[in-house]
Amino acid sequence: MNEKFIMENYPNTIMNNPKANHNYNPNTDPNTNPNTNPNTNPNTNPNTNPNTNPNTNPNTNPNTNPNTNPNNPNFNPNVNPVLPNTNPRKQKKQVKGNKSNNIKEYGEINIPEAPTSVHCITIVGQIEGHMVMPPQNKTTKYEHIIPQLVALEQNPNIEGVLIVLNTVGGDVEAGLAIAEMLVSMSKPTVSLVLGGGHSIGVPIAVASNYSFIAETATMTIHPIRLTGLVIGVPQTYEYLDKMQERVVGFVCRHSNTEPGRFRELMFRTGELARDIGTILVGKDAVKEGLINEVGGIGQSVAKLNELIENRKKMNPQGGH
């Protein structure tokens, strides 16, 4: 009895049907195990289950589905199940979300939407330096301000910088670093003191080409102070004196006040209850030669535009 005869007349034999064997294992049968024969697996064979075929299921590969890929020549918008969001209102919300992040992280936002050649930098709260301030303190981080100034110096579309201050002071070296960056910029700069420009905020205020102070704003001038561990040796006081001379020298070089007068205001007693120094209000800061003029945002922007125009006249071909 040959093999062909057995297969034709006895279909249920082990030779013809493996399932007839009592020891049959479907997991080892390549025709029934979907993991061994992809052609019999409905989840991997594109001819048996179109929902799991990445070339026919629009949820897995939109580029090959003519109803979801607008670039496909067979694209039909009338039967398009899902298209990318093209709603301008939602796109506008996404842009506003980015601006909200800018306000949260840097205190900066580009308003108005109209193109402008002036950029505004705000220095508020406490100027944070090498030490991180407690979370309840509102701070301006110098590692945020310095990269912005570098970008503004290199950006040809920005022609002037407006610096708005309302700060209580902070880290001396961080404040001086910002002030040195401002004074070395080739583009016109104008500063405006609103509320207060105290302590190390004074060098930043005088570092611009022209400075304004609001009528009710104040500036506190006092000696440099140290926090934390202080070693009571002569070298500590010499270090403090050298750091103080750096501040005095910078302020006097970039304002109309004299070093002797500035030190007199710094060491004055009887004006501050728990400290020595002087508080200058609005016109007093102008009278002492620290600030150029009393004014607000309108005067500051007008002056900055004037400086920009003067720079263009002096250098009509552009550049620094």
Q: Which of 191, 199, 211, 300 is catalytic?
A: 199
Euclidean distance between CA atoms 29 and 73, whole angstroms: 44
Q: Which of 273, 174, 262 is nearest to 219 (CA)?
A: 262
- Do residues 37 and 31 lie in contact, with contact meaning Cβ atoms separated by under 8 Å? yes
> Is residue 254 annotated as a catalytic residue, yes or no?
no
> Is residue 186 annotated as a catalytic residue, yes or no?
no
> In the structure encoding, which two tokens stand for residue 101, read together?
């992040």
- Local structure of 280: helix, strand or coil: strand
> In the structure encoding, which two tokens stand for residue 161, read together?
């910088």
Q: Which of 211, 198, 196 is nearest to 170 (CA)?
A: 198
Euclidean distance between CA atoms 161 and 256, whole angstroms: 22
For residue 218, which amino acid is it? Answer: T
Q: Which of 198, 222, 255, 300 is catalytic?
A: 222
- Local structure of 74: helix, strand or coil: coil
Active site residues: 199, 222
